[in-house]
Amino acid sequence: MPASDATWLAPRTSLTGSRHAVSSGHHLASAAAFAILEAGGNAIDAGCCAGIALAVLHADEVNFGGVAPIMIRTADGQVVTIDGLGVWPRGIPADLFVREHDGTIPTGLLRTVTPAAPDAWITALRDHGTMTFGEIAAAAIRLASDGFAIFPLIAEGIAARQAGYRRWPANAAIYLPEGRPPRVGERFVQTDLAATLQAMVDGEQAAGGTREAGLEAARAVFYRGEIAERIVAYHEQHGGYLTREDLAAFRCRYEPAVVTRWRDLELLTCGPWCQGPMLAQALLVLEAAGLDGLDHNSADYVHLVVEALKGVFADREHHYGDPAFVDVDLERLLSPAHADARARAINRERAAPGLPPALFGESQSLPAPSRLDAPAVVGEGGVGGEAEPKEGGTSYVCVVDRWGNAFSATPSDGASTSPVIPGTGIVPSLRGLQSRPDPRHPAGVAPGKRPRLTPNPAIALLDDGSVMPFGCPGGDMQVQAMLQVLLNRFHFGMDLQQAINAPRFSTWSFPNSFAPFDYLPDRLLVEDRFDEPTLAELERRGHVVGRWPAFTRDAAAVEAIVRDRTSGFLHAGADPRQPASAIVG
């Protein structure tokens, strides 16, 4: 349809500036980051500021003690990733969940891995930032201690998961003040979280010396000092496995970005310890299959993208895991031969029935996913409409500064399926819910091993020197939404915000990343902005079509910035599917 007739152009338009830009999952986090930029901080300072603020503002979806994978591209072209992901405690038996929990990962302390986000923010600041922890955490401390107005997304999330919060008094005290979920417009205060952050600032200030020494002192308060002692004491008293040694020894890992050429750009993703390389794989499969001549969001286009994604999700299921424990043959997975094989396996007239097979190296011990008869609604942590919604999680922030540094981060972890440590305001990372209970699985449990993470920040680098950091919340929807935005922008030529606003679709024909790993073969969900003939044609091809409301957060919420090297301008977009905000200057 002509661009002027597209109803999805309405919600927002791209913002353009010439100095610096930030886009994040909440306007107050973006405002805090922009203030850092205006004060002379760089993209890393501002991104860390927003990331910690999101742990306050999206308190039911981002936890300061959770995960925070980060990608940084400095102005001189250096690219680094910081995994921001914890590991299973050293003392946990690999077969614990198979042997004692009937192949499930139960709610509570047993899903705890080492909290990684505090170290991730401090590592990024130490090595690439210019400011102190106290400077970049000030906004989060104020928002936590003074409170902020409850907005619909957090009100709905807490209300939906209130049964989980009621399990533990410390969780209920924060998330259910007055014994009920907070209502839109009420003030939401997190006094203990403010105290935790302030204790780290106090440790930094007491250290004296260099900025780096202060940052290490702030970190030590969390991993070796009073916060660590509270975490460990609670685990010792309640049957957890996290120890002083686990916390003291933990450091986030620097790992090279996965660099993939697609047309006139290089796509930078994190490694297969998360689902990031899937995005590159999907682009390569679609390029091999051929996109030319397909109308945007036509039945032919949606079918092809969905079938390509099914094959890539199969590769994730059979191959992706912590490379320190699993031999992930990324060279083969990202090869033209593999992309061609996946493309050739697509039937243009018929949907593949469920998860496609592995094309190489399939583990004989990997069980086939069991089919699930479930409602056609899928949310962040799995299938919606059940008696008990799954754990919520994830937000996103990207920043580009006046010098050309780019920052992309996807902080995450909720607080409804594991206990808040009393007096801290945090849940040590419950990301173990993304490991498979069977240690034989590539993403299976093992002491010291990272769960396979869904959050996956990315950056695109164009041959003309332009840069685009982008990402989103959304669990297994993340790669699907990021792929569609990339194609909208660089294949269909849309304006950045148009590319974000456009209607989305999704496949769920694979085991979900979150325990209990729901599997919905043939399920195709679309936002309620597709025409009836398109949906009828998709159903004729064998897709089981369900509908999301228009602009639903379940379709993920992509934020992005483009630094256009040719014009010198920065263009920023924020997804109307959540209270996201972009600010440019």
Q: In this predicted model, what pLDDT tens digit does every residue of 205-246 receive, in sequence order? A: 999 899 999 999 999 999 999 999 999 999 999 999 999 999
> What pLDDT is stored for residue 183 in this prediction?
97
> What pLDDT is stored for residue 317 in this prediction?
96
Return the closest-CA partner of residue 196 out of 230, 166, 245, 246.
230
Return the closest-CA partner of residue 384 out of 476, 502, 452, 484.
476
Return the closest-CA partner of residue 175 out of 29, 385, 392.
392
Token look-up 């533990």 returns 168
User: Sign of dihedral through CA atoms 450, 456, 457, 459?
Assistant: positive
H/E stretch holding 535 reads helix 532-540
> What pLDDT is stored for residue 6 in this prediction?
67
Q: How are the residues of the chain apportioned to helix, strand and coil, as percentages rounded to the nearest 5?
A: 40, 15, 45
User: Under a CB-based contact definition with an 8 Å cutoff, are residues 176 and 165 in contact?
Assistant: yes
> What pLDDT is stored for residue 152 in this prediction?
95
Would 17 be classed as within a structural domain? no
The angle that helices 133-146 and 43-57 make with each other, rounded to 10 degrees, is 20
> What pLDDT is stored for residue 367 in this prediction?
52
> What pLDDT is stored for residue 387 in this prediction?
40
What tokens were used for 250? 């933990």
Q: How far apart are CA 48 and CA 121, in angstroms?
A: 6
Would 16 be classed as within a structural domain? no
Write phi, then psi, for 317 (nearest 5 degrees): -60, -40
User: Under a CB-based contact definition with an 8 Å cutoff, are residues 411 and 62 in contact?
Assistant: yes
User: Under a CB-based contact definition with an 8 Å cutoff, are residues 308 and 343 in contact?
Assistant: yes
Would 514 be classed as within a structural domain? yes
Which residues in the chain show pLDDT less than 70?
1-10, 362-390, 392
pTM: 0.95
Would 19 be classed as within a structural domain? no
Give the residue numbers spanning the domain of 198.
1-9+24-585
- The beta-strand segments (E) located in 238-345 are 254-255, 258-262, 265-269
User: Under a CB-based contact definition with an 8 Å cutoff, are residues 26 and 371 in contact?
Assistant: no
Give how many domains the chain has, as a whole number.
1
Peptide bond into 69 cis (omega under 30): no
Pairing state between β 544-548 and 523-527: parallel
CB under 8 Å to 30, separation ≥6 — which residues?
22, 23, 24, 50, 397, 574, 580, 581, 582, 583
Chain centroid offset of residue 226 CA: 29
What tokens were used for 412? 């995450």
Quick one: residue 501, left, alpha or beta (phi over 0 = left, psi -120 to 50 = alpha)? Answer: alpha
| Residue 282, amino acid | A
Q: Is 506 exposed, middle or buried (0-12, 13-18, 19+ CB in 10 A)?
A: buried
Would 413 be classed as within a structural domain? yes
> What pLDDT is stored for residue 13 in this prediction?
83
Q: How far apart are CA 46 and CA 44, in angstroms?
A: 5
What tokens were used for 282? 């999907």
CB under 8 Å to 181, separation ≥6 — which residues?
155, 158, 159, 162, 175
Return the closest-CA partner of residue 582 out of 399, 430, 453, 321.
399
Q: How many CB atoms lie within 10 A of CB 264?
A: 10
User: Sign of dihedral through CA atoms 167, 173, 175, 179?
Assistant: positive
CB under 8 Å to 137, separation ≥6 — which residues?
49, 52, 197, 200, 201
> What pLDDT is stored for residue 368 in this prediction?
53
Residue 22: strand pairing partners:
399, 583
Would 392 be classed as within a structural domain? yes
Would 18 be classed as within a structural domain? no
> What pLDDT is stored for residue 12 in this prediction?
81
Q: How many CB atoms lie within 10 A of CB 357?
A: 12
Q: Strand, helix or coil at 471?
A: strand
